[in-house]
Structure 1
């Protein structure tokens, strides 16, 4: 018997990560192991998670907006941010979503497209976890087609008045500020604009969505905007049109490319430990050829996904990462991570459906990760357009 390798050690992907990024990864891994793993099964089962407390802890670790610069943000490399997402999602996709939505959607929108006043007001508090943000783009009838949104922003004097609904919004119920995208009235150009909306503004409410079977360890909400009146300077001044929200989604998808691998790695490592201990027909389950074939195939896909993620991190660090490449990463890594979680469950049999092991929890979560921030089908069409030069969306 030889000394077992971990799945990612097969390709020695650690050798492709520099010392600083590896140190950040290891810090996050220790935090997940010590603080989050002992609680996550309970949070998932009850559907209750202390987001506000965790946000403060994430802030102390420098995780919120960690890849941004200034305003109390750590300014890490893209790869360090991706690896942090991987370790968080090895704990739970819902916990990674808290960090991802805060930093790559809400904070990034203000950092990239906001005014100096908006940045000074919100970013330092959000980086510290003292203020929580959410990102309101998706609507009940418009997910993959955000350009059809019905939320409207009407100019009344110097103010804006927002009316509409958003759906499936992470952190919405606990948020202090919402980045809401709305179509302006014709007199204001009829373009989609982003608005910085304090959630205590009259007319704003965010009822929590209950009875979820996925991402139970996160807060998912509807946003209701019933004549929400905002001052003229609430609009994000540096962007108009769908390029604004789509730039934020591209930023967030990068973290998902890494994050999904964390869930897959956790499933594989759990399964390898289990099959070595489990006795079937008088011998270890790990000694059977079918078991080893499954583990081999899954580890190959995990390793390929990690190589893909690290290449995207390198391109992003060099300022050369294009949206179709992120679609390649999001499509492949979420699809393969879900397949790994499901296959690992088969090796645990009935034990795999319990919360004693993370497999079905990860699989349920990855069902959402597969479809949010662009469904698999949307990313296929993005890649198809890049290859053919022809859009299949309309």
Structure 2
């Protein structure tokens, strides 16, 4: 039988996060009418309707300030190992923290619509650590964590939405000019952040058959 009791140290950390939000995040949220990004005006405040509906520069700058503030306080990298400046946070800890921050309502501290939070859901550094080449780890991870390199998430497709098991995009091993790599064919859409990202973490089927949960990388 699984014990789902939340460890006290996680519950205590929620209190630390609450104090941080009140002391450092709420003042930023209230400054210069930044609350317009979270009240009834948020769609217009966040959206540049004259440029393909992309996020406004002011909105993106505010999110950058939030992440830097949370990172400086030691919260943003909570789920990462200590080698990356994190707290070795567990999956259970992340689940409880995300639940708690969502319960507080929409605000600069947490926005599930676009995955922005004072406690980052930072899967890319861990994927690079576990599956990347030595060069990728050396060149990418520090830049990502410093906020100098932006990655986005290539999952959704026009015929299958976000149902990854039925995706059309495929990856086949290929050697070109003596260099081993992958030939990727397919389509992606609604790739949030693509307008500024330098890299796309693209999901593709490399083995298995359509509908299988395995064989996707």
**Structure 1 length normalisation: TM-score?**
0.37
1:181 aligned onto 2:207 = no
Structure 2, unmatched stretches of 5+, are 47-55, 209-213
- Cross-structure match for 2:93: 80
SS in 1 for 2:204: strand
- Cross-structure match for 2:66: 54
Within 2, Cα distance between the matches of 1:107 and 1:171? 17
- Cross-structure match for 1:28: 17
Within 2, Cα distance between the matches of 1:100 and 1:161? 37
SS in 2 for 1:178: strand
8 Å Cα contact 2:158-2:188 kept in structure 1: yes
SS in 2 for 1:28: helix
8 Å Cα contact 2:152-2:193 kept in structure 1: yes
Pick from 187, 191, 198 the counterpart of residue 165 of structure 1: 187
Q: Report the structure, 1 or 2, having the larger helix content.
A: 1
Within 2, Cα distance between the matches of 1:140 and 1:129? 30
CA deviation map 1:308-345 (0-9, x unaligned): xxxxxxxxxxxxxxxxxxxxxxxxxxxxxxxxxxxxxx
8 Å Cα contact 2:151-2:199 kept in structure 1: yes
Mark the CA change 1:150 to 1:132 in structure 2 (over 3 Å): closer, same or farther: same
Mark the CA change 1:160 to 1:96 in structure 2 (over 3 Å): closer, same or farther: closer
Within 1, Cα distance between the matches of 2:80 and 2:215? 23
CA deviation map 1:161-210 (0-9, x unaligned): 54543233344334343211224xxxxxx538xxxxxxxxxxxxxxxxxx
- Cross-structure match for 1:106: 124
Within 2, Cα distance between the matches of 1:86 and 1:96? 16
| Structure 1 residues 212-231: aligned runs within 5 Å | none
CA deviation map 1:187-239 (0-9, x unaligned): xxx538xxxxxxxxxxxxxxxxxxxxxxxxxxxxxxxxxxxxxxxxxxxxxxx
Within 2, Cα distance between the matches of 1:100 and 1:167? 27
Q: Which runs of 4+ in 1 moved over 6 A?
A: none
| Structure 1 residues 90-239: aligned runs within 5 Å | 90-92=104-106, 93-94=111-112, 97-99=115-117, 103-153=121-171, 155=174, 157=176, 158=179, 159-183=181-205, 190-191=206-207
Structure 1, unmatched stretches of 5+, are 1-14, 184-189, 193-239, 245-394
8 Å Cα contact 1:135-1:180 kept in structure 2: yes
Mark the CA change 1:68 to 1:55 in structure 2 (over 3 Å): closer, same or farther: same
Within 2, Cα distance between the matches of 1:133 and 1:113? 16
Within 2, Cα distance between the matches of 1:129 and 1:22? 29
Within 2, Cα distance between the matches of 1:129 and 1:63? 15
Aligned-pair distance for 1:52?
A: 3.0
Within 2, Cα distance between the matches of 1:62 and 1:30? 13
Q: Which has the higher contact order (CA 8 A, sep 6+)?
A: 1
Please provide the CA RMSD for this pair.
3.6
**Structure 2 length normalisation: TM-score?**
0.60
Within 2, Cα distance between the matches of 1:121 and 1:28? 31
SS in 1 for 2:203: strand
Within 2, Cα distance between the matches of 1:150 and 1:95? 26
- Cross-structure match for 2:49: none
SS in 2 for 1:76: coil
Larger Cα-atom Rg = 1
8 Å Cα contact 1:72-1:124 kept in structure 2: no
- Cross-structure match for 1:314: none
Aligned-pair distance for 1:97?
A: 0.9
Within 1, Cα distance between the matches of 2:192 and 2:75? 17
